[in-house]
C-alpha cells in the first residue's frame, strides 16, 4: 500500500470516459470521507493508493493513474484492467 494525500482526492473526482470502447465506458470517481471511490454501473469500490496519483480497486484488478496537465489540473486517467491500458478522458 502506498500513500496519498486525501486532501488531493477532490481533484481526482469527476467523470472519465474511455472512448475506445464500444459503447464508451464511463467511469465516475468520487471523493467521500477521506477516501476515493470508483463507480461503474452503480457499483462503488474503494480505490487504495499505490502512490500519490495511482490507485487500485478493492474489488477487481483495476488500476488507475491520474494525469495532470502543466497547470496541475487532472485532465485524464490511465486505466489498466485485464492487462490492457486505456486512456480515460475527463469530461
Q: How far apart are CA 86 and CA 11, in angstroms?
A: 20
Residue 11 DSSP SS3: helix
pLDDT one-digit tens code per residue, 28-81: 999 999 999 999 778 899 999 999 999 999 999 999 999 999 999 999 999 999
Grid coordinates of 34: 477521506
Report yes or no: 31 and 9 within 8 Å, Cβ to Cβ: yes
pLDDT one-digit tens code per residue, 25-43: 899 999 999 999 999 778 8
Mean residue pLDDT across the chain: 94
Instruction: Determine the pLDDT at residue 70.
Output: 97
Q: Is the peptide bond before 23 cis (omega within 30 degrees of 0)?
A: yes
Amino acid at each position: 500500500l502506498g500513500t496519498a494525500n486525501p486532501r488531493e482526492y477532490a481533484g481526482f473526482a469527476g467523470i472519465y470516459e474511455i472512448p475506445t470502447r464500444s459503447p464508451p465506458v464511463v467511469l465516475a470517481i468520487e471523493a467521500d470521507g477521506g477516501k476515493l471511490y470508483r463507480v461503474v454501473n452503480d457499483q462503488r469500490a474503494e480505490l487504495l493508493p499505490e502512490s500519490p496519483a495511482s490507485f487500485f480497486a478493492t474489488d477487481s484488478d483495476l488500476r488507475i493513474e491520474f494525469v495532470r496537465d502543466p497547470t496541475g489540473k487532472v485532465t485524464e486517467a490511465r486505466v489498466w484492467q485485464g492487462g490492457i491500458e486505456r486512456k480515460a478522458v475527463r469530461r
